[in-house]
Amino acid sequence: MSPAATPVDALIAKARDRSAVFGIVGLGYVGLPLAMELVRAGYRVIGFDVNQRAVDGLNAGKSHIQDVPTQAVADAVKAKKFSATTDLSRMGEPDVISICVPTPLSKTKDPDVSYVLAATESVKKTLRRGQLIILESTTYPGTTRELMLPALESTGMKVGVDFFLAFSPERVDPGNPKYNTRNTPKVVGGITAHCRAAAVALYQPAIDTLVPVSSPEAAELVKILENTFRSVNIGLANEMAIVCDKLGVDVWEVIEAASTKPFGFMKFTPGPGVGGHCIPLDPHYLAWKMRTLNYKTRFIELAGEMNAEMPEYWVTKVADGLNDQGKAVRGSKILVVGVAYKKDIDDIRESPALDVIKLLEQRGAHVSYHDPHIASLHEDKLDLTSVPLTAETLSGSDCVIIVTDHTAVDYQLIAKSARRVVDTRHVLPRGEKPA
């Protein structure tokens, strides 16, 4: 490198020869898959996490994330391309730091950016000239510029000159067999043009398609729009399910017929509600931000309310089914099939199944569950263990409610053995649904 090379030139050169060292803050569903793709691209990666158990497991070559094979972690560790640590004072070592920490909501549905602020503070303590900092955590528009930038510039260094700052939203879809970190296009918005150029250059070897946008705010809004779009359309599908139920029409037949239109319609399906970290939370980031600007996002908030009410709707369907048999919910044995927030994964974050179970227990039901991906459930005062899905278990239940449509579940057995089934996912074989 020429002595006259600028910091941005130096970073781009390190991207070309893969000599840049990446630091990933947060080694969960977002951070660990990203770390493995960066290793595969030829970079050395240091993972940072506050969970000592997770760090020890990773350094022993063991993955704790379903979408990341243990062999991939073991190979990366053996090749000395990946290591994990809880020592945040080492953040001065990487050339690039990607922050992949949680951004939950508070009980009042306000964004909790405490993890982002804590990570920023740790970066600030070790920030050196020439480093690139990229926030990947989903958050409200303005977080990168309004919260992170002042903290980092308080060191006396100038963004776009001495250090670089960008936002690039994670787009992880756990359990998706087709799209992963590498082949999902990655949006990048930098504080300055140099920030964006550095981020694009450094991610390019690990990501098939980069989508540069004009600012961090644009990138922040991209992620929120994606999941708000899904939330609103799922909310519409859920309301249509209730409309069809009241009209005595099969909502699934209506949706399937509508989806034959080759233009102007996109298929969304109803269900027990929405789960995961994105769809139930992301729209609230935007709603909160707009409230600070004295604007009410009515459409977005209505969809959120609709989706949040679906567990109650399906529990009422269970109660109605039991009532048809002359039974009360209180004292009845209810089997919940599937507690993950979506099919074929082991993630229960914001899962509507948790609300379904709690609502049934509040009505006095004896609730058990079966999930091939989740052996035990210790969440929000729930303490349950998955039961085997057998003819005896099914016939011994007063009602079975299918909440998550895992591929590995034997739906033929459920249709054959259960006394009554409430199918929130439309997975039972047609013509074989118990009365």
The alpha carbon torsion through 233, 136, 117, 194 (nearest 10 deg) reads -130
Token digits for 265? 């319609």
244 among known catalytic residues = no
Q: What is the C-alpha separation between 9 and 193, in angstroms, rounded?
A: 13
Q: What is the DSSP letter of 188?
A: E
Q: What is the phi/psi pair of residue 338, to 5°?
A: 90, 115
SS3 95: coil
Query: Whose structure tokens read 């007063």?
Result: 398
Q: Which residues pair with 24 in a beta bridge?
A: 47, 98
Closest CA to 201 of 48, 4, 17, 46: 17
The DSSP code sequence of 47-69 is: EE-S-HHHHHHHHTT---STTS-
Q: Which one of 100, 195, 278, 399 is the catalytic residue?
A: 278
Question: Under 8 Å CB-to-CB from 206, ≥6 apart: which residues?
Answer: 34, 37, 38, 40, 41, 43, 181, 182
CB 219 within 8 A of CB 154: no
Half-sphere exposure of residue 384: CA atoms within 13 angstroms, side-chain side:
24
Q: What is the C-alpha separation between 151 and 135, in angstroms, rounded?
A: 14
Sheet of 366-370: strand order equals: 366-370, 333-337, 399-402, 421-423
SS3 230: helix
Query: Whose structure tokens read 């969970």?
Result: 51
Exposed, middle or buried: residue 275 (CB in 10 Å: 0-12, 13-18, 19+)? Answer: buried
Q: What is the C-alpha separation between 401 and 37, in angstroms, rounded?
A: 39
SS3 430: coil
Q: Which residues pair with 304 in a beta bridge?
A: none
Pairing mode of beta strands 333-337, 421-423: unpaired
Token digits for 397? 């239940």
> Active-site residues: which are they?
278
